[in-house]
Amino acid sequence: MQKILNYINGELVAPLSGQYIDNINPAEGKVYSLIADSDSLDVANAVAAATQAFPEWSTIKVEKRSEILHRISELINRDLDKLALAESIDQGKPVKLARVVDIPRAAANMSFFASAAIHFASEAHITDVEAVNYTIRNPIGVAGCISPWNLPLYLFTWKIAPALAAGCTVVAKPSELTPMTAFLFSQLCMEAGLPKGVLNIVHGLGPKAGQAIIEHPDIAAISFTGGTVTGKKIAATAAPMFKKLSLELGGKNPNIIFADCDFEQAVNTSIHSSFSNQGEICLCGSRILVERSLYEKFTDEFVKRANALIVGDPLEENTKVGAMNSEAHMNKVLSYIELAKSEGGKILAGGNRIKMEGRCKDGYFIEPTVITGLNSTCRTNQEEIFGPVVTIMPFDKEEEAIALANSTAYGLSATLWTENLKRAHRVSAQLKSGIIWVNCWLFRDLRTPFGGMKQSGVGREGGWEALRFFTEAKNVCVKL
Q: Report the residue from 6, 157, 211, 455 that binds ligand NAD according to the rule CB under 6 A.
A: 211
Q: Does 388 bind ligand NAD (CB under 6 A)?
A: no
Strand partners, 127: 131
CB of 15 to ligand NAD, least distance (A): 15
Q: Report the residue from 5, 21, 49, 249 that binds ligand NAD according to the rule CB under 6 A.
A: 249
Q: Does 254 bind ligand NAD (CB under 6 A)?
A: no
Question: How remote is the C-alpha of 109 from its chain's centroid?
Answer: 13
Given the residues 28, 87, 176, 248, select the one marked as catalytic. Answer: 248
Tell me, letter by letter, the H, E, C secondary structure of 107-126.
Answer: HHHHHHHHHHHHHCCCCEEE
Q: Does 226 bind ligand NAD (CB under 6 A)?
A: yes
User: Which residue number, 225 or 391, has a Cβ lying nearer to ligand NAD?
Assistant: 225
Residues 6+ positions from 190 with CB-CB distance below 8 Å: 7, 10
CB of 452 to ligand NAD, least distance (A): 5
**477 catalytic per annotation:** no
User: Which residue number, 251 or 345, has a Cβ lying nearer to ligand NAD?
Assistant: 251
CB of 202 to ligand NAD, least distance (A): 10
Distances from the Cα of 111 to the Cαs of 162, 298, 300, in angstroms? 10, 40, 43
Scanning 46-54, 78-86, 243-251, 373-381 for contacts with ligand NAD by CB under 6 A, the matching segment is: 243-251
Is 263 in contact with 291 (CB distance < 8 Å)?
no
Taking the C-alpha atoms of residue 466 and residue 145, their distance in angstroms, rounded to an integer, is 12
What are the φ/ψ torsions at residue 458 (nearest 5 degrees)? Answer: -135, 150
Taking the C-alpha atoms of residue 448 and residue 40, their distance in angstroms, rounded to an integer, is 36
Taking the C-alpha atoms of residue 159 and residue 222, their distance in angstroms, rounded to an integer, is 10
User: Which residue number, 251 or 314, has a Cβ lying nearer to ligand NAD?
Assistant: 251
User: Which residue number, 35 or 95, has a Cβ lying nearer to ligand NAD?
Assistant: 35
CB of 37 to ligand NAD, least distance (A): 12
Q: Report the residue from 102, 248, 291, 367 that binds ligand NAD according to the rule CB under 6 A.
A: 248
CB of 383 to ligand NAD, least distance (A): 10
Scanning 12-20, 146-154, 254-262, 265-273 for contacts with ligand NAD by CB under 6 A, the matching segment is: 146-154
Site for ligand NAD in 277-296 (CB under 6 A): 282
Is 320 in contact with 309 (CB distance < 8 Å)?
yes
Helix pair 152-166, 62-78: axis angle to 10 deg: 160
User: Which residue number, 214 or 306, has a Cβ lying nearer to ligand NAD?
Assistant: 214
- Residue closest to ligand NAD (Cβ): 206
Q: How many residues form the binding site for ligand NAD (CB under 6 A)?
A: 31
Site for ligand NAD in 331-350 (CB under 6 A): none
- Other C-beta atoms within 10 Å of 293: how many? 13
Scanning 78-86, 203-211, 315-323, 425-433 for contacts with ligand NAD by CB under 6 A, the matching segment is: 203-211
Contact string (CB under 6 A) for ligand NAD, positions 428-457, x = contact: ------------------------x---xx
Provide the 3-class DSSP secondary structure of residue 170.
strand
Is 208 in contact with 244 (CB distance < 8 Å)?
no
Site for ligand NAD in 408-427 (CB under 6 A): 412
Scanning 16-24, 115-123, 169-177, 259-267 for contacts with ligand NAD by CB under 6 A, the matching segment is: 169-177
Taking the C-alpha atoms of residue 209 and residue 43, their distance in angstroms, rounded to an integer, is 7
- CB burial of residue 69 (10 Å; 0-12, 13-18, 19+): buried
Taking the C-alpha atoms of residue 124 and residue 133, their distance in angstroms, rounded to an integer, is 6
Q: Report the residue from 148, 152, 167, 350 that binds ligand NAD according to the rule CB under 6 A.
A: 148
Dihedral over alpha carbons 104, 107, 108, 113 (to 10 degrees): 170
Distances from the Cα of 227 to the Cαs of 44, 231, 234, 407, in angstroms? 25, 6, 11, 19
CB of 247 to ligand NAD, least distance (A): 8
Q: Does 227 bind ligand NAD (CB under 6 A)?
A: yes
Distances from the Cα of 294 to the Cαs of 85, 95, 256, 257, 297, in angstroms? 41, 35, 12, 8, 6
Distances from the Cα of 87 to the Cαs of 36, 107, 296, 325, 351, in angstroms? 18, 14, 38, 11, 26
CB of 210 to ligand NAD, least distance (A): 2
Given the residues 282, 284, 360, 384, select the one marked as catalytic. Answer: 282
Taking the C-alpha atoms of residue 425 and residue 23, their distance in angstroms, rounded to an integer, is 46
Taking the C-alpha atoms of residue 16 and residue 37, their distance in angstroms, rounded to an integer, is 9
Scanning 88-96, 140-148, 338-346, 351-359 for contacts with ligand NAD by CB under 6 A, the matching segment is: 140-148
- Other C-beta atoms within 10 Å of 192: how many? 18
**316 catalytic per annotation:** no
Scanning 59-67, 97-105, 220-228, 437-445 for contacts with ligand NAD by CB under 6 A, the matching segment is: 220-228
Q: Which residues are catalytic?
A: 248, 282
Report the interface residues with ligand NAD, using CB under 6 A. 146-150, 155, 173, 175-176, 206-207, 210-211, 214, 225-227, 230, 233-234, 248-251, 282, 384, 386, 412, 452, 456-457
